[in-house]
Structure 1
Amino acid sequence: MIKRRLMTLTVALLMAPAAMADIGSRIWATGGVTTIEGSAGGGLVPWALLGSYASDEEWGGTVALSRAEVDDYSLSVTGAGLNWNNRLEITVARQTLDLDSLVFTLKDGFGLEQDELNQDIFGAKVRLAGDVLYSPWGQWSAGVQYKRQRDFTVPSAIGARDDSGTDVYVSGSKLFFAAVMERNLLVNLSARATRANQGGLLGFGGDQNNSHELMMEGSVGLFLNRQWLVGAEYRQKPDNLGFATEDDWWDLFVAWVPDRRLAVTGALVNLGDVATLEDQQGLYLSLQGSF
């Protein structure tokens, strides 16, 4: 189903009328792509940038479909965002995590029947100050993400305290012109207060910790030209559950922006050990449309 949706989105965007090309006045690719939590950024890490190409006194929006396939899990994400005056971003995302391998591992001890997890994420991000291109200290934004599990059976069984939680973060992004081999370099640093287990997919809090902790996240991306961006991301994770340790996430990504209406992101992702299943590595694909 997700593959069909990705193809439908691609065809619809590429076949859109030429008039739709006027979708905002910001410079090419300055809206980032859509993270797995719905906000503008990379795949794993929110950036200070706001989605779409909307500038001051403009509205803009994004829709995105994403899929990650690692050794024992698959994650599908549908997301949408709205940008008002390049000042406020409102986002929503639905995550679906396939649990077949985990349920098979745990069912004898926990009596689990559920084979997937669904999480809704509602986000808001405000640009506080600066501009990613022209301000000496870059652009700074603050965001909040409210996350809600739609079925708490598995997270509860492994020791999670709550089925919902809120992440708060601050991000700073700066584009350095002609920084590496005469090519532009984007650098982002985010600080997130969270108590989410595996981003909230395994609930919030646990027997080892039930308080928010400050986690650091970073991204770096090199523009090969206007249409191609390559880079890497790293995201720290809290370790709340005695059931299993939680590793940090990282990825190596490439983003292609062939048109202001379309962005395609592919990545090699490493999620480490997830709920006793070791060394979860795989591929990630995301399509984003802007309007």
Structure 2
Amino acid sequence: MALPLACAAQAQGKLLLTGGVSSIDGAAGGGLSPWALTGSYATSGQVGASAYLTRLPVQDYALTGYGAAVAFGERAELSIARQDFSAGGTGAALGLPGLRLKQAILGAKLRLGGDAVLDADTWMPQVALGVEVKRLDAGGLAPTLDVLGAKRHGVDVYLSATKLFLAQSTLVNVTLRATKANQNGLLGFGGAGSGGYSLVPEISVAYLLSKQWAIGAEYRVKPDKLNPSTLGDALREDDWKDVFVVWAPTKQVSLTAAYVDLGRIVPGIQPRRQRGVYGSIQFAY
């Protein structure tokens, strides 16, 4: 994966792993949730960039994601992401064999205050406000989403607070997300009976085993906007969770592996929980 990083070649000031990794929506953070940190290793007066590729197969579905982000020091971040979701047997059961749901996401993040590294010896976290503009290509599922009252575009707004405890080698992040997204937007936004925004929390904890290795866990609460619907509770949405390990052999490359539990996805057709191993590679400068 080639990166146009001439403007960012010298953005190497931050500590290893303090930019997080690329989340599934493109923003810097954990795999499932954005953090208040900006991606890359750009510090004040520098511009950095990152790019990633992610693959998550579970029992009945598969998600492929890729994207890139540009960071303006620790002040702001712009990101773009694409997601390709294979519906597997669920699509066939709906009379749509080979169904793929594709989503484009544009993101922006602005630091409001604090500095995760410089304020590590205080109780002040780094705080950032973010927005994600999402547009779904639902393919043959579009008429069904129309019946359910789910739109194919939406905007998430989130507030993240990230606290780094350097002496304890621990990072804690709490994100509050205002969203209408069903399954992160892959089943549209809102529904006939609950079209308004829901405020849901997301929590991440990471522990630095060494300079190059980190482990952690995430929990992301989901809004469940399509439950109930004209299909009863067949579209009930469960929370997402994972445990992960990150290895950064250099500042330019990091590899993330995680065991992910996405709960039930369209349980009216596939009632079992969807679990799998998530893998992601990120290049950052």
TM-score, normalised on structure 2?
Answer: 0.90
RMSD: 1.6
Within a 5 Å distance, the mapping from 1:227-246 to structure 2 comes to 227-241=212-226, 242=229, 243=231, 244-246=235-237
Contact (CA 8 Å) 1:209, 1:239: kept in 2 or not? Answer: no
Question: What amino acid maps onto 2:173 in structure 1?
Answer: N
Measure the CA separation in 2 of the matches of 1:207 and 1:275: 17
- 2:105 corresponds in structure 1 to 121
Q: What's the CA shift for 1:178?
A: 2.8
Measure the CA separation in 1 of the matches of 2:188 and 2:139: 7
| 1:132 lines up with 2:116 in the alignment | yes
Q: Secondary structure at the match of 1:273?
A: coil
**Which sections of structure 2, spanning at least 5 residues, go unmatched?**
none
Measure the CA separation in 2 of the matches of 1:71 and 1:113: 17
Measure the CA separation in 1 of the matches of 2:217 and 2:9: 29
- 2:151 corresponds in structure 1 to 162
Higher strand share: 1
Measure the CA separation in 1 of the matches of 2:46 and 2:253: 19
Q: What's the CA shift for 1:84?
A: 1.2
Q: What's the CA shift for 1:134?
A: 2.6
* CA deviation vs aligned residue, 1:185-214 (integer Å, no higher than 9, x gap): 000000000000000011001133100100
TM-score, normalised on structure 1?
Answer: 0.88
| Equivalent position to 2:163, from 171, 174, 185 | 174
- 2:255 corresponds in structure 1 to 264
Within a 5 Å distance, the mapping from 1:1-291 to structure 2 comes to 9=1, 22-107=10-95, 112-113=96-97, 115-135=99-119, 136=122, 137-151=124-138, 153-154=140-141, 156-158=143-145, 159-179=148-168, 184-241=169-226, 242=229, 243=231, 244-276=235-267, 277=270, 278-291=272-285
Q: What's the CA shift for 1:26?
A: 1.2
Measure the CA separation in 1 of the matches of 2:51 and 2:254: 11
CA separation of 1:258/1:160 partners in 2, compared to 1, >3 Å: closer, same or farther? farther
Q: Secondary structure at the match of 2:141?
A: helix
Q: Secondary structure at the match of 2:90?
A: helix
Measure the CA separation in 2 of the matches of 1:270 and 1:45: 14
Q: What's the CA shift for 1:125?
A: 0.2
Counting matched residue pairs gives: 267
* CA deviation vs aligned residue, 1:57-86 (integer Å, no higher than 9, x gap): 000000000000111010000110001132
**Which sections of structure 1, spanning at least 5 residues, go unmatched?**
1-8, 14-19
* CA deviation vs aligned residue, 1:96-144 (integer Å, no higher than 9, x gap): 000121112222xxxx355101000000000111111232212000000
Contact (CA 8 Å) 1:119, 1:149: kept in 2 or not? Answer: yes
Contact (CA 8 Å) 1:208, 1:239: kept in 2 or not? Answer: no
Q: Secondary structure at the match of 2:249?
A: strand
Q: Between the two proteins, what is the percent identity of the paired residues? A: 42
Measure the CA separation in 1 of the matches of 2:179 and 2:29: 18
Measure the CA separation in 2 of the matches of 1:203 and 1:160: 9
CA separation of 1:178/1:188 partners in 2, compared to 1, >3 Å: closer, same or farther? same
Measure the CA separation in 2 of the matches of 1:178 and 1:147: 38
Measure the CA separation in 2 of the matches of 1:177 and 1:30: 11
Measure the CA separation in 2 of the matches of 1:166 and 1:55: 29
Contact (CA 8 Å) 1:160, 1:202: kept in 2 or not? Answer: no
CA separation of 1:160/1:41 partners in 2, compared to 1, >3 Å: closer, same or farther? farther
Moved segments of 4+, more than 4 Å:
none
Question: What amino acid maps onto 2:23 in structure 1?
Answer: T
CA separation of 1:190/1:56 partners in 2, compared to 1, >3 Å: closer, same or farther? same
Q: What's the CA shift for 1:160?
A: 4.4
